[in-house]
Amino acid sequence: MNRRHLLELIEEGENIQCEFKRHFTTPEKIAREMIAFANTKGGYMIFGVDDDREVVGVDSEKSESEMIKDAAENYCEPPLVYSIDFVELYGKEVVVASIPESDNKPHRLQDYEKELDINKALVIVRVNDKSVQASKEMVRILRANSADLSLKKYTIGQTEKMVFEYLAKYERISVKELSSLVNISERRASRTLVKMVRANLLLIHTKDNGEEFFTAAA
């Protein structure tokens, strides 16, 4: 991370791949943000920059880097890959944690469980400039994509046909809407939509509040 690249990131502001932090908080809060980047498209946590892009600097490079290391290695499951850069701007020190998109999704906040429990695990993803908890549908899709479990042979049944008819009229559909439309349980509706995403028939989208909806794949 050189000075020019950092200035460009600050100028662009917070987005799906960039988060500013004026001060260090706790390893758990840092871990949440790092998990969100790893589970999405990767990104940068820039410490020593305010939300309004003002460069305020950090107090101690060493303590900040130790906290990032602690967050990535002890508060994330599986532990995260990351790198740290120290860049001086306007006489102030800025710390940049770079988190690449992971090949081992989904990452979750450390819960000391041997296996991921989809009903309890705190899996976080990045949506625009926010980090939000992923739905069960998103967790299933992240897990399937990581294991390359795409459905290459998928039979289109009556439920799937009704999904496409609904999308032709309303452009998007949610688990609750499919459940009501076909008169099936939300659990079954969820599994149907997840399978259609895995078969590359649908795309999943997350709102800022964490709610999910589905659209037809291009």
Instruction: Name the residue among 202, 183, 186, 185 with its Cα closest to residue 194.
Output: 202
Mean pLDDT, 10 residues at a time, the chain of 218 residues:
94 96 90 97 96 93 90 97 96 96 95 92 94 93 80 85 96 96 95 92 89 90
DSSP 54: -
**What per-residue confidence (pLDDT) applies to 195?**
92
Burial class (CB in 10 A: 0-12, 13-18, 19+), 4: exposed
> What's the angle, vertex CA 119, arms to CA 32 and CA 142, rounded to 5?
60
Q: What is the pTM of this model?
A: 0.86
How far apart are alpha carbons 213 and 205 in whole angstroms?
A: 5
7 contacts: CB under 8 Å, gap ≥ 6? 89
How far apart are alpha carbons 128 and 25 in whole angstroms?
A: 22
Residue 163's CB is within 10 A of a number of other CB atoms, namely 25
- Please give the domain boundaries of the chain with CATH numbers for all domains: 3-129 (3.30.950.30), 142-216 (1.10.10.10)
**What per-residue confidence (pLDDT) applies to 150?**
65
